[in-house]
Amino acid sequence: MEEHDGSREIHFVLPSAEAIDKARLSLLTSLPEHGIGTEKANHHVKNDIVPGLNRPSQSPNYYGFVTGGATPAATFADNVVTDADQNVAVHLPKETISTDVEDRALRMVCELIDLPPNDWLHRTFTTGATASNVLGLACGREYVVAEAARRRGTSASVGSDGIVRAMRAAGLEDIQILTTVPHSSLLKAASLVGLGRSCVIDVALSEEEPHVFDLDLLEAHLRKERVASVVSISCAEINTGHFATDPKAMRKIRELCDRYGAWMHIDAAFGLLARVLPEADEYELINEGVAGFELADSITGDAHKLLNVVSDTSEPPPRAHMHLCSFRLPLTLSSPMTAASFSRNVCSLAWTSFRM
């Protein structure tokens, strides 16, 4: 609980132990044979269950999770989306403007973080941090295999041929993800796209600076024969706020990725909004940490943090969150990922954008 300006007004951020116990005991243990009706169910939720929930959005001093606290505008939008219950996985311009609304919102997000929307033409929302990183790694997997095949004078596609046959055609034995201080969602995503958690390799400079890339070590890994690579940049590390790169390092990583046919992914769930800061001495270190996004092949961002959208329940990190995945593709991919997928909680946004 907290006091403000010396007043006796007290705000309870966390429920008491007694309130938690009472709420937990009120939960049904099995499906009843007969329902109790909407009115009684609403009363049960409001008076028995809600008192056992914490109120992080109603306090500036809750640090249990990196959630910014939903603003009135975000709460309003969340309610509108739930009420309208739209499906933007299919573009139906004569029936609804839902896809237009999504597209305009995504264009403005691009403008907000200084990525020209006309350079990042295809965008979509996902359901969370893991889902956004899944998209980034899946597109990276598709690209690095296709690029390895191209350099051999042939062609291969994971989407068309499957990962085993595509890698065989490309002359590859392994795919690695090179990173520093990765978020747990990156490892989950690696598992989901069939690469495996063990393919995530730490290329940190030192134990004292675990977030900083050892660029010589990075190149040594990229140089490996018959191994394709995705380079994932943490921007910023979620527990310390440290950025993995500065402008010079970002340019060097882009150069190395181009040289060795690697995919450059930025996980900016925590640091994305820092790109709105003005150029000023007091923000110099932060500005340097988020410089060079335009060099990336994919970007993920999180809206439930500093963009203050409503946090939903689909998964721990983002989905009352907004995730941005932006893809800059040197080749055109025929992939269902270019279709927009929209969660019911539009305020838990995650967007993916492919730059063709």
pLDDT at 58: 67
Query: How far is residue 337's CA from residue 126's CA, in Å, rounded to a whole number?
Result: 10
Span between the terminal Cα atoms of the chain, in Å: 51
Instruction: Look at residue 126 in the predicted model and tell me its pLDDT.
Output: 76
- Alpha carbon distances (Å) from 344 to 53, 101, 114, 115: 22, 14, 27, 26
CA gap 5, 195 in Å, rounded: 53
Under DSSP, the state recorded for 52 is G
How far is 68 from 30, CA to CA, in rounded Å? 35
Q: Which two tokens stand for residue 29?
A: 């243990």
Looking at residue 315, its pLDDT comes to 31
Q: pTM score, two decimals?
A: 0.82
**Rounded distance, CA 218 to CA 353, Å?**
26
Greatest Cα pair distance, the chain, in angstroms, is 75
Mean pLDDT of successive 10-residue stretches along the chain, which has 356 residues? 47 85 95 93 95 77 65 82 86 92 86 86 75 89 96 96 97 98 94 96 95 97 98 88 94 98 92 91 94 91 74 37 41 27 30 34
- CATH number for the segment(s) 106-355: 3.40.640.10
Position 227, amino acid: V
CA distance linking residue 205 with residue 191, whole number of Å: 25
Q: Where are the domains of the chain?
A: 2-58, 106-355
